[in-house]
Structure formats: structure tokens, C-alpha cells
Structure 1
Amino acid sequence: MNPSTLTFTLPDLLARFPWPRNLSEFYTEAKAESSTWTEGFHPFDEDGLEGFNLCDFNLLAGLAYAPREKEIIRLGCDLMNIFYVFDEYSDITDAAGAEGIRNIIMDAFRNPHNSRPEGELLLGEMCRDFWLRASSYVKPDAHCLGHFLRDFDLYTEAVVREADDRTKRIYRSFEEYLAIRRDSSGCYPSFALCEFGLDLPEEAYHHPRMAELRVQATDLIAIGNDIDSYAMEKARGLELHNSVELVMKEQGVNVQGAINWLERYAAGVHAGFLENVAQMPSWGEQTDKKVKTYIDGLAQWIRGNDDWTFESGRYFGSKGLEIQKTRVMTLLPPSRGYVKKSA
């Protein structure tokens, strides 16, 4: 049987998730600004740019950060575009190459007032410009700044490990993989942006239930993304950093068997997330409002990422809304990403 004819069913992990779809009223405006900003760095050739725009990572920000203010939506758009430019460049290199890109990015974040070296990879200037604007939105001593830098550092470090696994063709156990995926998904720095403008007390931020919420939100996003992106990642040779492939090998099941197992695993995470929300302690009326906004931000990220998966062309091309209804997916022929290896 030709593997490209293999079909499987995508579960709806959020069928009972109480946060509905919400697209920011500032989406169109922020998308126009961020698209112009991103394209100004010339990250891809003409064909690659067309494919990149089809994915509409601005839509992801518009869905995930709603109903926050315009400034957060615009910063969210820029951050999503940075993530995926980095993703495309790191996907075609080894650990050493990914480490080099990581060093450029983190230096730009830590030293945003220094000009970037001539001829440096475009991500340095992208991150420098983004961080100057993001950090000016809050007080210089705002805790969210440190949270973001820590989480982005862990994210880029995990992407390097992913590149090393890919080069060495390492199959990790599901639990080993999930520990790396929590960082390589980019969820934590994305959640950090939810803090901007809230001035969330550290006591609330570091509460065990809140910390667990971030892990659970990340797991729901990562597992849902792995299932929905499996066909594309398999086609591009990236399946070793996908829980579907790893569960298949670890448990000796086929694609559908692995997806069904992940659906059951995600159901437990989903229940735990809702329990933590319900049992969150009170810190007083003023802080509780901030906490609710932050928790809604985490939840909106879970919902928004799922909506974007089907509404953009990232994984399903023009068939996303149809697949969202039928839940039927087919493996794809081999392909490459939006950056040529000679880039």
C-alpha cells in the first residue's frame, strides 16, 4: 500500500473546552503592520513568501491573544512571525547551525540597544526591533520581561536539541520527548506575552496551580499540534519530533492507534486544566481580575491555536475548514519548507 494513501481521523480534543473562538477586532490592522514589518527583513524568496503568507501566523496571534488591546495583538503577530522564521531556518540545519541562530537571537534580546553586525542573519535585527518595542510597553522592572527572556532562552535551547535529534535520527520516549516539546513548542514565551500590561504579582504567577496550568496548556497545544501537523511533518522528514511517530514506535501501533492513545492522554490533561482553574486561590479582588485575564489568555491560546490550525493554510492548505468538519486526513507526498538549504 502506498503510504501517501493512508488516511486517519483527527480527534477534536477541545470539543468540551469552555472557551469559544474569539478573533481580535485588531487582527486586520495588526496583520497589515506585522506583515509589512516581517517582509521588510526578506526572510524568504518569492515562492517561500507566498507559502509563508498562506500560513497567516498573524491570524494565530489574532485568535490566541483576543480580546487583548491592540498593542498586544501587534506584538503577538510579530512574535509569531519570529517563531516561524526561526522554525523554518532551524528545520534545515543541524545542532551547530541551530545553536548559531540561537546565539544571535538571544544576544539581540539581551542587548537590544546594540546595533547588529553587518551581514548577520535577519533574525538578529527582527528580535532586536521586537524587543525594543515590547519592553517599552511595560515598566523596566516588570517581572514579565524576565519571564519572557528565560522562557525564550529555554525555547531556543530546546530547538537546538530537536535539531540534534533530527540529525542523529534519535527516537525518544514519549515522556522524554514531551519534556523537550514543552520548551520547543514556544508556548511559554508566548504565554509570557499574556502577562504584558497586567503587572501580575509573582505570588500568583509562581503558585503551583498556575505553574501547572502553563504545563497543561502547553501539553494540550503541543499534542493537538502534533496530531494535526503529523502529515506535513512526515512529508518534510520532521516526524521524529512529533508524538504521533514516537508513540507509534514506543507502543507498536499504527498512526490511528497512536492518535487514539494521545486523545486519551489529552483528555486527562484537559480535565486537570479545568480543575486547576476552578480551584485557583484568591489574592483579593484587584489581583483576581488580573489572574482571570491571564488564565483566560492561556485558555484562549489553547482554543486559538486549534482554530488557526484549520483556518490557515499551514498544515492543510486550502482544505482546512473541510478537514475540520470531516476530521479525515491523508498522508502527504515529500516536500520542503519555505527556506532553501542554500539560504
Structure 2
Amino acid sequence: MTASTAPPQTPPLQFTLPDLLAKFPWPRNLSEYYCEAKAESSAWTESFHPFDEEGLKGFNLCDFNLLASLAYSPREKEIIRLGCDLMNLFYVFDEYTDIADGEGATKIRDIVMDAFRNPHKPRPEGELLLGEMSRDFWIRASNYVSPDAHCLPHFIHDFDTYTEAVAREADDRAKRVYRGFEDYLSIRLDSSGCLPSFALCEFGLDLPEEAYHHPRMAALRIQGTYLIAIGNDIDSYAMEKARGLELHNSVALVMVEQNLDVQEAINWLERYAAGVHADFLDNVANMPSWGEDVDRRVKMYIDGIAQWVRGNDDWTFESGRYFGSKGLEIQKTRLMTLLPASTGFVKKSA
């Protein structure tokens, strides 16, 4: 067949990404400690040799240190560094569990949680690197606050539910399970990693339990997670579909559940997120008072959650995680196309 008689090629599917935070009142803010914390945390992460040379390039392209420096930006240098380490730990855990089934992910989860719960116990010879990586992080994080600080059990609880949800996600992926949107969102609340990320915002603030567990505060954590998760699902859909991970993405699930195309599903999620956004601002505006000193610390915590919502969106376009070198251009045009099939940064034999 000659070129002149060849059938026309179908153009790649293009869709528009909404700006879910166009009216979100917290602006972009990058920590002054970004470069310093990035250098330290990158060296720390690479010391565990989690990736081969190709994987390391992909890891550096994502720049999770930038995410932490945007998300924890109002805080002191120590929290920025711990935030960088936590984001890099999340990433390594996600990459290793992304290629595992439910049983394999559960084994990895058990290693990580044992390291958190027993940080002074030496890790077994030949164990997966995530055990020592988690142990080292948690010793430094827990030393930053008093031994009886409430933030410590809060973090352990939230990281436990996170790893459990990731294992469930891996099992769903292996079995090709399609969940309904609401069922999926309840899992995403934990599998997103937002709650343990928010838990680090509490470090050094010494919040009273009454304030931490207040219904409006608990709702803020859920709503902040949903805003991040839905935005992340929309922005990462093309990459996740290319890697065969779209079963744990609300765009794909809404498409199936409601028989919509990609753009229609994204538009539906945009409307859903607008309701969450309104509820988030309502809870911030109507948070009760616990006295001047506690209210000051509560405000820092709330600003931490809100900055996480904003910072995650900024990082999505400023890093190379989802859009390569085109992030800032896509942030302006909001136009995205589906990508060719690809793999992650950890090989199956790792």
C-alpha cells in the first residue's frame, strides 16, 4: 500500500483538565528550604539504592522534594526535610507495590509497619530496603517531638490504614476489579497517603485531642483528601492508563459506572469536587474556638492541610511526574492527550 492510499491515522484522544482550585484561597508557596532539603533527602533516598540507573532518572524527574517543599511550605526546616523524606518513602513504596499483587503488597506493608512500630529493632539481613528506609525515617521523625505527643500514634494509625489500602488496591488490580465511585473513594481516602501526610503537619503543634478529633476537623481531613485525590486522578489519568493502573482511578471508574466518555467523566468529577471545595471552606470558616493559644496552633494545622491541597496541584504541573517537560504548558492550556503504553521505575524482577 502506498503512502497516498494508506488509511488516515486516528489522532490521539485529547481532553481538557479542569482547574479545581481556581477559587481556592491558599496561594502557591515554596519553602525557602527547598534546595537544602532536596539535596539532603535525595542523598538519603539514593543511599538505599531503590532503583536502577533508568529508574533513578525517572525518580529525580518526579522531584517529590518539590512536592514536600510546596505542601509543608509554612513550616520550619526540620519539617520540610522530614516531609521530603516521607514523600520519597511514599514513592518507593508505591513503585514496589504497583508491580505486586495483593499478597506481595501485603508482605511489603508488613515490613514497613514492623519498622515503624519497632524502630529500634535491627532489620533482618537481606530484607527489602523499605524496612530500613522506614525505620530510619521514623527514628528521626519521632525524635522531633516528645515521646507522649499525640501526633505519633496519629501518624502510625494513618500510615497503617494507608498501607492496608494500597495492598487492597494491588489485589483489585491483579483481579481486575472495578469498584463503584463511592466505594472507590472510601478506599482512596486511605490509599492516597494524604492522611499520614497531614499527620506530619501536626508535628510540633501539640494540638489537644479535643481539637484534633472535632467533627469539623475530621471532615477537613477527608475533604482535603478528596480534593487532592480527585485532582490527582484527573491529572494522572493519561499516565495511569498508559501503565495499566486506571482501575484505581476515578475517571475510569466513573466512565464505566455512568457510561461516559473521558471528558464527560472529568466534567462529572469537576462538579463533584466543587461541592467538596464548598464544604471544606465552610468547615474552615466555622471551626470552634479553644482559646487564643490553641486557636493559633489549630490555624497552623488547618493551613497545613490547605497548603497540601494547593501544593499538590502546583507540584503536579511543576514536576515531571505526570506531564514530563510539558507540565507548565499543560497548566496554561489545560489540554492533555492519552499516552503510549509504558512501565514504572521498578522492574518485576526487583
Using the size of structure 2 for normalisation, the TM-score is: 0.97
- 1:4 CA drift (Å): 7.0
SS of the residue 2:31 aligns to? coil
SS of the residue 1:244 aligns to? helix
User: What percent of counterpart residues are identical?
Assistant: 81
Correspondence 1:321 to 2:328: yes
Which residue of 191, 203, 209 maps to 2:198?
A: 191
Letter aligned with residue 97 of structure 2:
S
Residue 291 of structure 2 is matched in structure 1 by 284
Measure, in 2, the Cα distance between the counterparts of 1:142 and 1:304.
26
Correspondence 1:216 to 2:240: no
SS of the residue 1:197 aligns to? coil
Structure 1: runs of 5 or more not aligned? none
Instruction: Figure out how many residues of one structure are paired with residues of the other and give that number.
Output: 343
- 1:187 CA drift (Å): 0.3
1:4, 1:330 within 8 Å by CA — same for their partners in 2?
no
- 1:67 CA drift (Å): 1.4
Structure 2: runs of 5 or more not aligned? 1-7
Structure-to-structure mapping, 1:299-314, within 5 angstroms: 299-314=306-321
Measure, in 1, the Cα distance between the counterparts of 2:135 and 2:219.
31
- 1:44 CA drift (Å): 0.2
SS of the residue 1:329 aligns to? strand
1:4, 1:332 within 8 Å by CA — same for their partners in 2?
no
Measure, in 2, the Cα distance between the counterparts of 1:162 and 1:277.
31
CA deviation map 1:156-197 (0-9, x unaligned): 000000000000000000000000000000000000000000
CA deviation map 1:209-250 (0-9, x unaligned): 000000000000000000000000000000000000000000
Residue 269 of structure 2 is matched in structure 1 by 262
Residue 40 of structure 1 is matched in structure 2 by 47
- RMSD, aligned α-carbons: 0.9
How has the CA–CA distance of structure 1 residues 138 and 276 changed in structure 2, closer, same or farther, with 3 Å as cutoff?
A: same
Residue 137 of structure 2 is matched in structure 1 by 130
Residue 244 of structure 1 is matched in structure 2 by 251
CA deviation map 1:261-312 (0-9, x unaligned): 0000000000000000000000000000000000000000000000000000
Letter aligned with residue 22 of structure 2:
A
Structure-to-structure mapping, 1:3-82, within 5 angstroms: 5-82=12-89
Which residue of 225, 228, 238 maps to 2:235?
A: 228
Measure, in 2, the Cα distance between the counterparts of 1:2 and 1:250.
30
Which residue of 116, 136, 161 maps to 1:109?
A: 116
Using the size of structure 1 for normalisation, the TM-score is: 0.99
How has the CA–CA distance of structure 1 residues 25 and 227 changed in structure 2, closer, same or farther, with 3 Å as cutoff?
A: same
Measure, in 2, the Cα distance between the counterparts of 1:2 and 1:260.
27
1:4, 1:331 within 8 Å by CA — same for their partners in 2?
no
Residue 171 of structure 1 is matched in structure 2 by 178
Which residue of 141, 149, 153 maps to 2:148?
A: 141
Measure, in 2, the Cα distance between the counterparts of 1:50 and 1:167.
27
- 1:111 CA drift (Å): 0.3
Residue 207 of structure 2 is matched in structure 1 by 200
Runs of 4+ in 1 over 4 A off after TM superposition: 1-4
Correspondence 1:151 to 2:158: yes
Measure, in 2, the Cα distance between the counterparts of 1:309 and 1:236.
18
SS of the residue 1:5 aligns to? coil
1:4, 1:333 within 8 Å by CA — same for their partners in 2?
no
1:88, 1:338 within 8 Å by CA — same for their partners in 2?
yes
- 1:28 CA drift (Å): 0.5
1:188, 1:218 within 8 Å by CA — same for their partners in 2?
yes
